[in-house]
């Protein structure tokens, strides 16, 4: 993560102190120092209040955090937000948003040309813990609207025939056959059995017969992952 000294300069110009930012973000002051030093990301539910203090759009703030310097995204004001659809689970079910969540939509990623075809999910369990922490925000992009490369190593949301949506990593084995895998953390690998699917880039009419997903079943490729603070039972905030 880059250092964010530009935030310190912008706050000073507007007459804010770090304790003012900490109060607005509802975190201890040392957390703000960690952000400035590049040791902590701005969490998803902190983007809006910090953007307000800096008098910039949420999307421009995300670009600035990415660049490590103040950057304005051209034509950003008024850009449609991305809906938060709920928690995507390893078994393909979509659970409701966590209780007490303070937002139901997010700013589009700074490198997205349009909000059309974008959706946001919360990673609801540890089925992808090897790559995406539980509680993280995931923004997916429809291949019908955005340039979404379909290649081994990519993460994609697939529509199953029974109506479920699964998030899986596309891999190819030594025989060149495609598979869609969950990537749980090591402590879950033996305890949790998430479905594995065959995958081919051939369209439905040309795909081999049997239980196999195709490129036509992709509803979104993972475009942006944002680790956020999750609220465990009891209300104490912890790092995801």
Phi, psi dihedrals of residue 135, rounded to the nearest 5°: 95, -10
Last residue in a domain, options 13, 45, 71: 71
Can you give the pLDDT of all 240 residues of the chain as single tens digits? 788 999 988 888 888 888 888 998 888 989 999 999 988 888 877 888 898 888 888 888 888 888 888 888 776 666 688 899 999 999 999 999 888 787 888 888 877 878 889 999 999 988 898 889 888 989 999 998 988 889 999 999 999 989 999 999 999 998 888 999 998 875 555 445 578 899 988 766 665 655 788 888 999 999 988 876 444 443 333 333
- Could you give the CA distance from residue 202 to residue 85 in angstroms, rounded to a whole number? 29
Distances (CA, A) of 193 to 40, 139, 152: 33, 25, 22
Q: Which of 3, 12, 171, 180 is nearest to 92 (CA)?
A: 180
Our separate counts of H helices and E strands in the chain read 5, 13
Query: Do residues 110 and 221 both lie within one domain?
Result: yes
In this structure, the answer to whether residues 67 and 123 fall within a common structural domain is no
What is the CATH classification number for the domain harbouring 108?
2.10.109.10
pTM for this predicted structure: 0.70
**CATH number for the domain harbouring residue 48:** 1.10.260.40
One domain for residues 62 and 119: no
Based on the fold, state whether residues 41 and 121 are members of the same structural domain: no
Note whether 85 and 120 are within 8 A (CB): yes
Token pair of 206 as six digits: 């040309």
Domain co-membership, 49 together with 159: no
Domain span holding position 62: 5-71
141 and 110 within one domain: yes
Please tell me the total count of domains within the chain: 2
């Amino acid at each position: 993560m880059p250092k964010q000294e530009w935030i310190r300069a912008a706050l000073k110009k507007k007459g804010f102190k770090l304790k003012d930012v900490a109060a607005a973000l509802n975190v201890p002051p040392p957390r703000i120092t960690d952000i400035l030093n590049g040791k902590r990301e701005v969490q998803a539910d902190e983007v809006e209040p910090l953007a307000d203090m800096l008098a910039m759009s949420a999307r421009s703030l995300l670009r600035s955090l990415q660049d490590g310097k103040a950057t304005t995204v051209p034509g950003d004001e008024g850009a449609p937000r991305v809906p938060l659809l709920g928690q995507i689970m390893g078994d393909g079910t979509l659970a409701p948003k966590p209780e007490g969540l303070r937002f139901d939509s997010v700013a589009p990623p700074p490198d997205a040309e349009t909000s059309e075809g974008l959706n946001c999910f919360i990673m609801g369990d540890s089925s992808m813990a090897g790559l995406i922490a539980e509680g993280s925000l995931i923004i997916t992009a429809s291949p019908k609207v955005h340039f979404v490369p379909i290649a081994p190593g990519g993460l994609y949301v697939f529509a199953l025939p029974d109506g479920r949506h699964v998030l899986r990593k596309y891999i190819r084995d030594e025989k060149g056959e495609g598979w869609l895998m969950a990537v749980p953390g090591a402590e879950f690998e033996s305890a949790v059995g998430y479905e594995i699917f065959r995958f081919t880039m051939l369209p439905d009419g040309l795909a081999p017969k049997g239980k196999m997903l195709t490129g036509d079943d992709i509803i979104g490729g993972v475009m942006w992952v944002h680790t956020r603070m999750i609220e465990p039972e009891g209300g104490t905030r912890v790092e995801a």
